[in-house]
A = this chain, B = another copy of it.
Amino acid sequence: MSQENWNRWGAGDERGALNHIGADEIKHAAGLVRDGIVVSLAQPLSPRTPVPAHRAGVQHFMGRDGGDYAAGGRRPGGFQFAEDTMVLPLHIGTHIDALCHAWYDDQLYNGFPGTGTRSTTGAARCGIGTMGPIAGRGVLLDVAALKPVPDGGSITRADLEAAARAAGTVPGKGDIVLIRTGWFERQSGTVSFDAEPGLDVEAGLWLAGRGVAAVGADNFAIEAIPFPAGTVFPVHQRLIRDFGIPLIEGLVLKPLAETGRSSFLFTAAPLPVTGGTGSPITPMAIL
C-alpha cells in the first residue's frame, strides 16, 4: 500500500494534487494567453456519445419544445420557451474523475474510508463537489505526433519525455498534463472500448513525481487497456488514490494539437455535484 500524497495537504484535504496549483502557477498560466483563442476540448454530449456496451448512455428529454406551440400550446405574453432534462451518467464523454472514484484496500485518497460512499448519500469525502474549478497551466504531450501507439499499446515514461522535449517544456508542479494518444481520433462508427493505448504505471508515476495537478488524455481510461496481467486499472489506483491526482478522460485533443501550442491556460470546471464521483466537463485551452 502506497499513499505518497496522503497528509501532504492536511488530514482533511480532499483536493489532492490540485493543491499544487498556487497563485504563482495561475498567474503564470494566465500569462500564456497570447493569441486570444479558446479551444474546446470536449466531445459532444448526446445519446450518441460512445459508451462501453454494458453501460447506459445519455438520455435527453424535452419537457417543452417548439412542437408544443405548433400543436397549439399557449404562449402567455407571447413568451415561448423550451426546456429539457438529461439522464446523465457522470463518467461519460469528456469528464473528470473525482478523487472518490477509484481506490483500493477500502481507503480513498488521504485515508478516507471507502464506506463513506453510499447509495443514500453519495461520497461523504472527495466528492466532485469538493474539487472546485480548475485553472492552471496546460501542457500538451503529443505522443501521437511522435509515434503511433496501437490499441492496447503502452505509453511509457520515455514516450512522455520525448513528447515533452518536442513540446519544449517539461511537466512540473501544478501542470495539467494532456496526453494525445491518437485513440479518439481514429474511432468511427461503433467505438470499441476493449483496447486502447494509454499510460503504463511507470509513466503515470513519473508525472505524479513531477508534481502535476491533473492528468488527461484523449482515451477512455488514461491507461492502456487491456491491463497488464493480474492488474485492474493500476494507473487509476496509483494516481487517484495514492497521489490524489484527478484524471480527465475522453478529451478531444486534435484541434488543440493543430494549433501548435504546447502550453496554455487550461480551465475545467466540474459540476459541483454533492457527493458525485465525477462530472462531464468542457475543458478549454486559452491560447
A interface list, Cβ under 8 A from B: 22-27, 30-31, 33-38, 40, 42-48, 56-57, 59-73, 75-91, 100-106, 113-120, 122-123, 129, 132-135, 227, 230-234, 236-237, 265, 267-278, 280-284, 286
Contacts and interface: CB of A to CB of B under 8 A. Distances in A.
Each complex incorporates copies of this chain amounting to: 4
A37 B33 contact: no
Given A62-B62, A70-B71, A232-B78, A277 B83 contact: yes
Nearest to A79: B232
Looking at A42, A105, A118, A122, the one whose CB has the most chain B CB atoms below 10 A away is A118
Given A84-B276, A233-B77, A135 B67 contact: no
Contacts of A40: 132-133, 269, 272
B119 A63 contact: yes
A104 B118 contact: no
Residue among A37, A77, A80, A236 facing the most chain B CB atoms (10 A cut-off): A80
B56 A47 contact: yes
A159 to B, nearest CB: 24
- A27, A38, A104, A284 — which one has the most chain B CB atoms within 10 A of its CB? A38
A77 B234 contact: yes
A24 to B, nearest CB: 6
A46 B88 contact: no
Nearest to A46: B274
A191 to B, nearest CB: 14
A88 B80 CA distance: 22
A277 B66 CA distance: 12
Contact of A81 (B102, B113, B267, B281): B102
A82 B124 CA distance: 12
Given A83-B278, A86-B88, A65 B272 contact: no
Contacts of A133: 38, 40, 42, 282, 284
B56 A59 contact: yes
Given A26-B33, A26-B37, A30-B286, A61 B61 contact: yes
Given A76-B232, A104-B78, A118 B68 contact: yes
26 contacts: A22-B36, A23-B35, A26-B37, A30-B286, A38-B133, A40-B269, A44-B129, A44-B272, A45-B271, A45-B272, A45-B276, A46-B274, A59-B85, A66-B116, A67-B119, A73-B120, A79-B237, A80-B103, A82-B101, A83-B90, A84-B90, A84-B122, A84-B276, A87-B87, A267-B286, A272-B282
